[in-house]
Amino acid sequence: MRRIHVIGIGAGDPDQLTLQAVKALRDTEVFFLLDKGEVKADLTRLRRDMLDAHVPEGTYRVVEARDPERDRSAGGAAYSPAVGDWRSARADVYERLIAEELGEDGTGAFLVWGDPALYDSTLAVLEEVLRRGAVAFAYDVVPGISSVSALVARHRTGLNRVGRPVQITTGRRLAEGFPEGVDDVVVMLDAHQAFRRYAGQDGEGAEDLDIYWGAYIGTPDEILVSGPLAEAAPRIERLRAEARERKGWIMDTYLLRRRTPEQ
Ligand SMILES: C[S@@+](CC[C@H](N)C(=O)[O-])C[C@H]1O[C@@H](n2cnc3c(N)ncnc32)[C@H](O)[C@@H]1O
């Protein structure tokens, strides 16, 4: 039976690779690296560096493949079908890779950024491949340090206040409104700086929020900003635009924390 490891590799710092991840890397014969457009070169290099550092040369093969493009123009009701089509196109690619590149008893691995359980479709795509029934395999998941854990560690703060909930959401959702019933909200996948709406910059009043923001966390390009949102927002916008221009891509995450009387 073919085996697949889905390995969380941390969110940018090679030292975030866990011992469990290193064991799984050493147990792998074929690594599948899927290219991701403009961020491809940097992220593929990091993955290859990890293999160079931890897996004896000559014991593995790397197979690179093109990740199907997602229709990013689809918004509103069209968003979920667009993601569904994209997953299905990825399932075609994964199915072919597993069937053609892995022997009947071979072991392959997908190296997943951060933690495979958080805003990543690898597990859903593998389940779709299994459902189709054309190729059989067993798979396991090695958890990784997510960008969320890395963000709060770098800011030396917790995710939640005592006994309170925390919500992890997307920029797209935050742009629709601040989540109800929570004072701590982590925002990922925000291409449009949805926090501006709450900083008093888009014609609405500023909310009583602090922000803990980080870009390229754990890498040599890391940028961290924290403070009252109304003050920090213009600075973040400027730093973000400069960094994006310089590198050609950006990955940022932030925690919005409502100031409460007991703080
Ligand atoms: C497709 S999600 C993948 C998340 C990943 N599975 C994780 O556990 O962090 C990509 C989003 O993760 C966040 N992200 C990932 N790595 C990051 C980093 N090094 N610095 C800041 N944000 C990061 C950004 O919000 C980015 O838009």
pLDDT digits (tens, 9 = 90+) for 172-206: 999 999 999 999 999 999 999 999 999 986 666 67
Tell me: do 135 and 176 sit in the same domain. no
Structural domain includes residue 215:
yes
In a mutational test of the pocket of ligand 1, which residue from 9, 121, 147 has the highest number of ligand atoms less than 8 Å from its CB?
A: 147
Residue 200 lies in a domain: yes
Evaluate: CB of 113 within 6 angstroms of ligand 1. Answer: yes
Give a yes or no: residue 196 inside a domain. Answer: yes
Residue spans of alpha helices (H) in 68-167: 79-101, 122-132, 147-154
pTM: 0.92
Q: Across 63-67, 82-86, 186-190, which has the greatest mean pLDDT?
A: 186-190
Rounded to the nearest whole angstrom, what is the distance from the C-alpha of residue 195 to the centroid of ligand 1? 17
According to the model, what pLDDT value does residue 96 have? 96
Torsion of CA 177, 179, 180, 186, to 10 degrees: -150
Same domain for 138 and 44? yes
Pocket test for ligand 1, best of 251, 252, 254, 255 (most atoms within 8 A of CB): 251
Please tell me whether residues 127 and 25 are part of one structural domain: yes
Tens digits of per-residue pLDDT, 23-39? 999 999 999 988 766 56
Same domain, 246 and 135: no
Q: Which residues of 194-230 are buried (b: 16+ CB within 10 A; e: fewer)?
A: bbbbbbebeeeeebebbbbbbbbbbeeeebebbeebb
Residue 90 included in any domain: yes
> What band does 42 get if pLDDT is binned at 50, 70 and 90?
confident
Last residue of a domain, one of 130, 145, 160: 145
Decide if 185 is inside a domain. yes
Query: Domain check: are 199 and 188 in the same one?
Result: yes
Q: Are residues 105 and 136 in the same domain?
A: yes
Same domain for 92 and 203? no
Domain shared by 130 and 157, yes or no: no
Residues 141 and 215 in one domain: no
Measured in Å, residue 189 CA sits from the centre of ligand 1 at: 7
Whether residue 133 sits in one domain with residue 78: yes
Query: Is residue 263 included in any domain, yes or no?
Result: no
Query: Does residue 221 lie in a domain region?
Result: yes
- State whether the beta carbon of 174 lies less than 6 angstroms from ligand 1: no
Rounded Cα distance, 211 and 169, in Å = 15
Q: Which domain holds residue 8?
A: 2-145
Q: Whose CA is nearest to atom 27 of ligand 1?
A: 189
| Ligand 1 midpoint to CA 252 (Å) | 7
Question: Among 101, 123, 145, where does a domain finish?
Answer: 145
Which of 127, 145, 163 is the last residue before a domain boundary?
Answer: 145
CATH number at residue 183: 3.30.950.10
Whether 169 has a pLDDT exceeding 90, the answer reads yes
pLDDT at 141 over 90: yes
Indicate which CATH number applies to the domain containing 111.
3.40.1010.10
Give the residue, by CA position, lying nearest to ligand 1 atom 10: 189
Number of domains in the chain: 2
Verify that 161 and 135 share a domain, yes or no.
no
What is the mean pLDDT of the segment spanning 3-25?
96
Confidence check: pLDDT of 81 > 70:
no
- Do 115 and 207 share a domain, yes or no? no
pLDDT tens string 202-248 = 666 677 999 999 999 999 999 999 999 999 999 999 999 999 999 98
- pLDDT-derived band at 79 (thresholds 50, 70, 90) equals low
